[in-house]
Structure 1
Amino acid sequence: MYFSGIQPTGKMHIGNYLGAVRNWVKLQQPGNQNIYCIVDLHALTDKLTIDHEIKFDQNTKSDTLSLAATLIASGINPKQSVFFIQSHVPEHAELQWILSCIAPKNWLNKMTQYKDKKKEYSTLGLYTYPLLMAADIILYQAQYVPVGLDQKQHIELTRDYVQRLNSLFKLNIVEPQYLESTCPKIMSLRDGNKKMSKSDAIDGNRINIDDSKEEIFEKIKRSKTDSIPQIYFDQDKRPEISNLLRIYSAFSNLSMEQVIEKYLTKTTVDFKRDLSELIANELNTIAQKKKQILNNQSELEQTLKEGSMKAREIASKNLKLIKENIGLLV
């Protein structure tokens, strides 16, 4: 069983696509049970601003539908995988509450993501975010969780909660394993030591999945490199060109050695032009499929509804078992 989720916030970029979505698609093999969801409840954790203004804007619905269409266009097949919206399965929030009652608060205090993101007026939701993520995983007894390296600590925390449930209530819940992405981390186009991010205020630092061909060419053209004419990989001394080489390798499905050999006698200008073409061709195919999907929104919503029904069938069965074992009347 494989489980993973993605937030409908910000603009999905090629780091998300290469590091997560492509991997999800590859896992859709005969014999694998895959569950993928759009975690819209997680997306509510950053809506409180410093002046206490709550920004629960109406874009959340459209962003969710847009992301769903992007994922299907990228290769997530609702007939092969259980694909749904997190908030459509209330068992997630119910299990989160149960988990919040079985372990000490200091388990959450050690989470580095909260330490990095917290502000003076941060909400309880941001603090308990890892609990909801643990509930997401436990609810489906996922054996493997393909997520980015920055989420590895959350998987370790989830294992702690599974062990606590199993030891206290004689359950036999599967301990989830972190499944590392086959694609290395994609960095900012203008800072090879900084991860490409949805939340980056500078759009030119990333390539969004919905960028046009012209935007892709312009961003790659303006991406930072160095004065060394030869093209080769050196993460420590040449982080920016090394990042572009990683992106080329991922989109071309060539090894790093093959890419370097191909551009051994070519210029950075040649390399950037070819890289732009490579990215634009793949993203344009996704964009065309996405447009077709969004043109039939009712069918998309029906697909998501059917996915949620499948997810609830699994989730309700597993939650019932937990509730029975902890002594609740069910």
Structure 2
Amino acid sequence: MGYLSRMTQWKAKMSLPDDASPLDTSSKATLKLGLFSYPVLQAADILVHGATHVPVGHDQAQHLEFARECAGSFNHIYGDVLVQPETIISPAKRVMSLTDPSSKMSKSAENPKSRILLTDPRQVIFKKIKSALTDSTEGVTYEPDKRLGVSNLVEIMYHLQSEEGRFSHQEIAEECRGLSMRVFKEQVAELIDLRLEPIRERYHELMGEDNGKSLARVADFGAMNASASAEATMEKVRNVIGL
């Protein structure tokens, strides 16, 4: 309880001060079990399958530390049974909202224009990027502390181009400096659509096969494998604790 109550993401979601206790009934916020126990369920999923490396966003790194803590505490008592997973952080630590660049882009945000979905068609991507919040300053610059919206679009371009290894954030901004905001946004949208097109096409291809029955077969096969993987770990756990 103590460890979970100090979780940064939990306090942020509940709008609690850093020194708040989850059991403080004087607070306007009330304990939400689903939100509070999420790191426990996440740790269980990771540990039961013996995951060695887990790719997560920057905001999930603390949850991975909790999973490592759980494995370490268990192993300290019962021996080397559970695997302590290593955290893999994506280079794109955080993509910000298109409508509120001070907040993270989220699929649960109320405004659908705040995010780009992998399945968004080309015209929707262009429409969302066109309406993305920027500012009235002329030219494109990369200044995350001052120009959140513009810098977010530069970040998106950087991560979609970085595999080519030709640009940095500043180089992209410098290359686009003389563009109007309209033309710059069109270039961002064009690049996003280029990268998402094969994903989008594959999605529709899969969804169109046997009305999704092929996906159901894959899911059933995956469930069987997951069940076997989990049972192998649980057998070790039951043996060492004497059940």
For this structure pair, what is the TM-score category when the shorter chain's length is used for normalisation? 0.7 to 0.9
8 Å CA contact retained: 2:57, 2:93: no
Distance in structure 2 (CA, Å) of the matches to 1:107 and 1:184: 24
Secondary structure at 1:185's aligned position in 2?
A: coil
Q: What is the deviation of 1:121?
A: 7.2
**Within the alignment, does 1:115 sit opposite 2:11 as a pair?**
yes
2:18 alignment partner in structure 1: none
Distance verdict in 2 for CA 1:290–1:145, change over 3 Å: same
Aligned amino acid, residue 8 of structure 2? T
Aligned amino acid, residue 111 of structure 1? M
8 Å CA contact retained: 2:58, 2:93: no
1:278 alignment partner in structure 2: 191
**Within the alignment, does 1:306 sit opposite 2:225 as a pair?**
no
Unaligned runs of 5+ in 1: 1-104
2:152 alignment partner in structure 1: 243
1:264 alignment partner in structure 2: 177
Distance in structure 2 (CA, Å) of the matches to 1:269 and 1:127: 43
1:9 alignment partner in structure 2: none
Identity %: 33
**Within the alignment, does 1:127 sit opposite 2:36 as a pair?**
yes
2:207 alignment partner in structure 1: 294
Query: 1:70-219 maps to which residues of 2 (within 5 A)?
Result: 105-117=1-13, 120=30, 122=32, 124-219=33-128
Please list the CA deviations of residues 64-119 of structure 1 after superposition, one character each: whole Å capped at 9, or x if unmatched.
Answer: xxxxxxxxxxxxxxxxxxxxxxxxxxxxxxxxxxxxxxxxx323222233334455
8 Å CA contact retained: 1:216, 1:280: yes
Secondary structure at 2:110's aligned position in 1?
A: coil
Across the aligned residues of Structure 1 and Structure 2, the Cα RMSD in angstroms comes to 2.0
8 Å CA contact retained: 1:171, 1:325: no
Distance verdict in 2 for CA 1:265–1:121, change over 3 Å: closer
8 Å CA contact retained: 1:184, 1:246: no
Please list the CA deviations of residues 140-184 of structure 1 after superposition, one character each: whole Å capped at 9, or x if unmatched.
Answer: 222221111111111111111111110111234222222111113
Q: What is the deviation of 1:132?
A: 1.0
8 Å CA contact retained: 2:81, 2:237: no
Distance in structure 2 (CA, Å) of the matches to 1:128 and 1:257: 41
1:17 alignment partner in structure 2: none
Please list the CA deviations of residues 228-270 of structure 1 after superposition, one character each: whole Å capped at 9, or x if unmatched.
Answer: 2221211111111100001111223352244224313322221
Secondary structure at 1:291's aligned position in 2?
A: helix
8 Å CA contact retained: 1:144, 1:179: yes
With a CA cutoff of 8 Å and minimum separation of 6, indicate the structure with the bigger relative contact order. 1
8 Å CA contact retained: 1:171, 1:322: no
Secondary structure at 2:101's aligned position in 1?
A: strand
1:231 alignment partner in structure 2: 140
- Alignment length (residue pairs): 223
Please list the CA deviations of residues 181-231 of structure 1 after superposition, one character each: whole Å capped at 9, or x if unmatched.
Answer: 111311111222211112211111222222222221111111112222221
Distance in structure 2 (CA, Å) of the matches to 1:113 and 1:266: 38
Moved more, 315-324 or 305-314: 305-314
> Structure 2-normalised TM-score?
0.83
- The structure with the largest strand share of the pair is 1
8 Å CA contact retained: 2:142, 2:170: no
Query: 1:53-64 maps to which residues of 2 (within 5 A)?
Result: none
Greater C-alpha Rg = 2
1:50 alignment partner in structure 2: none
Distance in structure 2 (CA, Å) of the matches to 1:242 and 1:311: 41
Distance in structure 2 (CA, Å) of the matches to 1:308 and 1:173: 21
> Structure 1-normalised TM-score?
0.63
Q: What is the deviation of 1:301?
A: 1.1
